Structure formats: C-alpha cells, structure tokens
Structure 1
Amino acid sequence: MKINWGTGIVIAFALFMSFILYFVFEVQSNAKYDNDLVVEEYYKHDSHFQEEMARVQNAHDLQQKPSITFGEEGVKVAFPSTFESDKITGNVLLYRPSNKKFDFNTKIALTNSALFIPKDKLIKGRWDVNMEWQYNGTKYLTKEVIYVN
C-alpha cells in the first residue's frame, strides 16, 4: 500500500496528538506530579488584597521593624525592645512554595522579645515567612523570604 503526503500528514498529526494526550493523562493520574494550587481559595484570598496591603504598609511605616532571620539553630523573629511583648499577638506562617505539605503556622509567643523556630522543623530550601501580628489595636503584616541550608 502506498501512502501519499496527505495521509502522512494526518498520521503524523494523529501520532503527535496521541503523544501529547499520553503525557496529559500521565501527569493527571500519577501522584508523583502534584499539581496543587498555591492558595486553596484563590479568589477569596484575592478579595482581601487591599486589607493585606494596608497591613504591609503599617509594618513598613514603623520606625523600628521586627526582623526575621535564619541562623544555625533555626528561624528567629525578633521584635525591637520598644514593643511590649505581652501586647503582641498573631501568628507566623512558614510557607513552602514547592510543597504545601510542609507549611505550618506558629502562634506568636515571645521570650525576651523574640520567637524561635527550631531548624529541625524546616527542610532545606526556600521558605516564605508571613507574619501577621497586632500591636495596640493596629494590624501588621511582615513578609520575608529565607533560605535554609
């Protein structure tokens, strides 16, 4: 049987489509390729964007800002000594962009104006730290990126 160029193009197109569909089904069915959203309720999260920006601006306007650093022992969140430790409330979200299974929240409980998160709770790589906190009725949001070695 002789195949002309039109039939060859149709066969090549069908093979290409089969190739693409195979990979689509493979990625969707295999748990190895986790394709979760970055935020579960994206649109609900986006509707509060203006409030979030106001809290970020509040934190930016502070004369003395809290610091988030990574050291040998772990992550240290330090507030300036001008803040009264017992009036600071909130939580610290450590967010792992590559895998949400490692994300965790820690309530702010200060010892000597600082919060310490041990290194053994963290895996190597990039972590986004979002600290939502409140002091004297004003809400703040501090965002940092740290790299764990």
Structure 2
Amino acid sequence: MKINWGTAIVLAFIGFIGFILFFIVRMSTDNRANHDLVTEDYYKAELEYQKEIDAQNNSTKDVAQLQVKKQSDGLRIEFPENLSPEKIKGTVSLYRPSNKQLDFNLPISLSDNHLLIPDKRLLDGRWDIKVAWTYQDKEYLHKENITY
C-alpha cells in the first residue's frame, strides 16, 4: 500500500498531537513535577519584606556579619566575636527548594559564638539559609545559599 503526501502529513499531525497529549497527561499526574509556591502565605510575606531589608542593612552597617562554614560534622554558623553569645536570640531557617518536607527551623541559643547544625539533618544539595536574630533589641538578618 502506498502512502501519498496528504496521508503522510495527516499521520504526522496525529502522531505529534498524540505525543503532546501524552506529555501533558504524564506531567500533570507525575508527583515529581508538583511545584508549589515558595511560601504558603506569599502575599503576607511580601508585605514583611521591608523589615527584612532593614535587618540586612543592620547586619552590614553594624559589622555583624555571620560566617557559614561547611565542616565534616555539620554546618557551623559563627557569630561575631565581639558580641555576648547569651544575648543573641533568634532562629535559623533552612529551606530546601526541591523538597519542602526537608525544611526546618532551629532556635538560636548559644553558649559560645557559634552554632552547629548536625550533618545528619542536612542532605546533599542546595539549601537556602536564613538567620534572623536580635542583639540588644536590634534585628539582624543573614541570607545565604549553599550547596551541601
């Protein structure tokens, strides 16, 4: 049986449309392609953004820069040496862009000028770290992206 040009073009269109429909059905039902908003309360977080900008400016103005270092036993967050560790309060938020079930928050309670996040809590991959802390009623914020 011979296929003429018209039949070949119609078969090509049917094959292409079938492939596109298969691709759409597969991507809409696959859990790996499930992408949510970055945060649940996105618009509320957007209104709070100016406070974050002010806190980040405080940390650069007051020379209160943190250092985040990867070590064999975990992730070490070092606070400035000139600050009293007992007066530092706040939280460390670790956000995993690829899986929101891995996100967690840690309260800051220091006896020394560093905080260690154990290696068993962190999987390999990208993490967004947000350290929001206060010292003598002044708010500071440090944001960093690392690949662990």
TM-score by length of 2: 0.84
Contact kept in structure 1, 2:92 and 2:106, CA below 8 Å: yes
Measure the CA separation in 2 of the matches of 1:14 and 1:134: 63
Measure the CA separation in 2 of the matches of 1:106 and 1:9: 61
Residue aligning to 2:54: 54
Q: Give unpaired runs (5+ residues) of structure 2.
A: none
Q: CA RMSD in A?
A: 2.3
- SS of structure 2 residue aligned to 1:101: helix
Residue aligning to 2:130: 130
Residue aligning to 1:28: 28
Q: Give unpaired runs (5+ residues) of structure 1.
A: none
Residue aligning to 2:75: 75
Instruction: Pick closer, same or farther for the CA change 1:45–1:14 going to 2, 3 Å.
Output: farther
Q: Deviations along 1:33-68, whole A, 9 cap, x unmatched?
A: 332222223222222222211111111112242222
Counting aligned pairs with the same residue, the percent is 40
* 1:21 Cα deviation from its structure 2 partner: 2.8
Which deviates the most, 71-80 or 46-55? 46-55
* 1:122 Cα deviation from its structure 2 partner: 0.6
Q: Deviations along 1:74-132, whole A, 9 cap, x unmatched?
A: 11111122212222111001111221121111110113121111111111122111101
TM-score by length of 1: 0.83
Contact kept in structure 1, 2:86 and 2:111, CA below 8 Å: no
Contact kept in structure 2, 1:67 and 1:79, CA below 8 Å: yes
Measure the CA separation in 2 of the matches of 1:139 and 1:10: 66
Q: Aligned residue pairs: how many?
A: 148
Residue aligning to 1:117: 117
* 1:73 Cα deviation from its structure 2 partner: 1.0
Measure the CA separation in 1 of the matches of 2:10 and 2:48: 50
Residue aligning to 1:94: 94
Amino acid at match of 1:108: I
